[in-house]
């Protein structure tokens, strides 16, 4: 494991450090503030920068929707009056005749609170982002509405432009070495510097504090921000980070093959002749598995309530006897009943939860926590947040799992060298995922390639344990992760935290705090109290020295117990039942 990451893009970082370090006296000598429209001609740190939009926007109310609105994305939040800016920099001609640029989206509120927030991306990025600074655990709440200037970015490629159906579609950028580098972390410094320059030009002063907020791929970007660009950021809220994404993508291939073997044995074959991974377990089967986990581990925290608060004690050795009680007598599908799982289903589930390995038994990514969030019965049906990633929705007649639709193209184009050409249709992606060799995929993630001579692990993995360049400036980190996250393992995150703490001789708590969210899937969802405010804790810690403490979290409507509240405790504390109504956080204490 690397103990410290070198600074890259040195010239840009030097410029950024100068922007951060300018004394207050220099701010008073700055040029007169520019109007919103005038920012189109502002002097920028990177001379290649072009501002394509600079317009003043009036305040708008939150979008109103009917309860049965089918659109999958959330309604637009309320926005204050602000200056909206769209720009691009480092435009160039790249691989396969594609045009690439780093594009950014900045909103500068009229009623500015003096702070700047960098909004991380998600998935394979490639979209500009709304630059509102939303929080996965606080629907409808935005940093923009709180007065923060907010920037988002496409990370250096555009899904609408860099999209070749013969080369993984929106992951076409994986065939361009510089675009891969920018996706990994290279875009962060230039965009942060552009944002700071425009803030100074518009308001006449630099931001007092700069925050990075991101989850999933955005969480990986937040970790890269504090590790690679420590002089540009003061604090980071990091959610369920994909900081070992090159290896995590191999875990998705592993999962697909494990469940595909079950689907094939059960005769669940698609029209293209390939196993339907999503048919390996029905929703009812998932509920049987959840019941076994709860039977083994729910009571470990002192309260039987459908949540495994003491998740570190919920081991494979503890869970397997409970699974044995619900295992059918044999693997003949005719022996399958509503009250038992086939032995091969249990074996596949155990294989998946154990994590991917090479042929000689070397771990490739991580194992996973046994937790109740693999599926739960709610008023609207069985939760899908775990299975949609691990296998896919059961009803589909084609492979629809995110491990195939998102994992396979990313692994074949971005997280291996050299990239392979795989068509974006589901049959081609399924064929690649189910035929992949784990040892070869692992080796390919470590091959240096392209104009920058980088392996995928070089530009993607954010696992430095020496955070002193960030923390010596007073930098603070709050990190949270769902125990039932099916994409990035909480166990992997905790191993990194342990390594950081070991390097700090047990005193990492002075700059980093961690919250585990039992039952929560990838960023939200699952049988969990997944609505909470950690950002306010981060701001108070960084700006006022108030250390993070327990947080009250609430269960949403799509849980078995809407409105339930629980405490989220700074790890390694966990909630202990004291007295009172077990549906209320007040009945617990962090210990």
Residues known to be catalytic: 216, 485, 522
Say how far apart CA 67 and CA 74 lie, in whole Å.
12
DSSP state of 407: I
* SS3 annotation, 35-98: CCHHHHHCCCCCCCCEEEEEEEECCECCCCCCCCCCCCCCCCCCECCEEEEEEEEEEEECHHHC
Provide Rg for the chain, Cα atoms: 24
Peptide bond into 572 cis (omega under 30): yes
Say how far apart CA 6 and CA 116 lie, in whole Å.
25
In terms of Cα–Cα distance, which of 4, 9, 140 is closest to 62? Answer: 140
Instruction: Collect all residues with Cβ–Cβ distance below 8 Å to 489 and sequence separation of at least 6.
Output: 248, 251, 355, 365, 366, 367, 368, 369
The pair phi, psi for residue 421, each rounded to 5°, is -95, 110
Say how far apart CA 530 and CA 520 lie, in whole Å.
6
Plot region of 60 (φ>0 → left; ψ -120 to 50 → alpha; else → beta): beta
Say how far apart CA 210 and CA 214 lie, in whole Å.
13
Side-chain-side CA neighbours of 352 within 13 Å: the count stands at 29
């Amino acid at each position: 494991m690397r103990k410290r990451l070198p600074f890259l893009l040195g010239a840009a970082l030097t410029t950024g450090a100068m922007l951060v370090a300018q004394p207050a006296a220099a701010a008073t000598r700055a040029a007169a503030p520019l109007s919103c429209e005038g920012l189109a001609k502002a002097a920028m740190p990177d001379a290649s920068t072009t501002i394509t939009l600079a317009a003043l926007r009036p305040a708008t109310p939150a979008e109103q929707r009917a309860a049965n609105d089918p659109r999958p994305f959330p309604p637009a939040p309320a926005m204050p009056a602000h200056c909206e800016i769209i720009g691009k920099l480092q435009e160039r001609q790249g691989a396969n005749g594609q045009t690439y640029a780093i594009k950014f989206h900045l909103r500068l509120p009229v009623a500015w609170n003096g702070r700047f927030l960098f909004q991380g991306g998600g998935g394979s990025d490639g979209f500009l982002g709304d630059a509102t600074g939303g929080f996965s655990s606080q629907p409808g709440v935005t940093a923009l509405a709180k007065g923060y200037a907010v920037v988002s970015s496409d990370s250096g490629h555009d899904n609408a432009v860099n999209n070749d159906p013969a080369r993984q579609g929106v992951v076409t950028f994986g065939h361009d070495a510089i675009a891969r580098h920018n996706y990994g972390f290279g875009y962060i410094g230039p965009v942060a510097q552009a944002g700071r320059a425009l803030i100074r030009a518009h308001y006449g002063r630099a931001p007092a504090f700069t925050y990075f907020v991101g989850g999933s791929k955005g969480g990986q970007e937040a970790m890269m921000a504090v590790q690679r660009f420590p002089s540009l950021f003061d604090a980071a809220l990091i959610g369920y980070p994909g900081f070992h994404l090159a290896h995590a993508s191999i875990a998705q291939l592993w999962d697909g093959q494990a469940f595909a073997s079950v689907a094939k044995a059960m005769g669940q074959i698609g029209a293209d002749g390939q196993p339907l991974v999503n048919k390996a377990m029905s929703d009812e089967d998932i509920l049987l598995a959840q019941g076994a986990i709860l039977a083994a581990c729910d009571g470990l925290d002192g309260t039987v309530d459908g949540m495994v608060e003491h998740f570190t004690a919920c081991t494979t050795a503890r869970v397997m006897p409970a699974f044995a009680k619900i295992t059918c007598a044999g693997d003949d599908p005719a022996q399958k009943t509503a009250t038992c799982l086939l032995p091969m289903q249990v074996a596949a589930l155990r294989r998946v939860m154990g994590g991917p390995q090479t042929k000689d038994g070397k771990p490739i990514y991580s194992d996973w926590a046994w937790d109740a969030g693999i599926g739960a019965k709610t008023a609207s049906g069985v939760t899908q947040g775990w299975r949609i990633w691990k296998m896919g929705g059961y009803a589909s007649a084609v492979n629809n799992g995110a491990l195939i639709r998102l994992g396979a193209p990313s692994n074949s184009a971005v997280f291996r060298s050299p990239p392979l050409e795989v068509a974006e249709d589901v049959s081609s992606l399924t064929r690649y995922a189910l035929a992949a060799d784990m040892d070869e995929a692992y080796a390919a993630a470590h091959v240096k390639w392209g104009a920058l001579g980088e392996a995928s692990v070089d530009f993607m993995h954010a696992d430095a344990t020496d955070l002193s360049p960030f923390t010596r400036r007073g930098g603070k980190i709050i990190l949270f992760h769902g125990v039932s996250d099916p994409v990035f393992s909480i166990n992997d995150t905790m191993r990194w935290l342990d390594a950081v703490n070991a390097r700090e001789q047990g005193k990492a708590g002075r700059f980093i705090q961690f919250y585990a969210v039992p039952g929560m899937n990838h960023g939200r969802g699952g049988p969990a109290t997944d609505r909470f405010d950690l950002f306010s804790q981060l701001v108070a810690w960084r700006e006022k020295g108030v250390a993070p403490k327990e947080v009250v979290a609430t269960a949403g409507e799509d849980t078995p117990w809407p409105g339930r509240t629980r405490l989220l405790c700074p790890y390694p504390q966990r909630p202990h039942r004291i007295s009172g109504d077990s549906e209320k956080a007040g009945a617990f204490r962090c210990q």
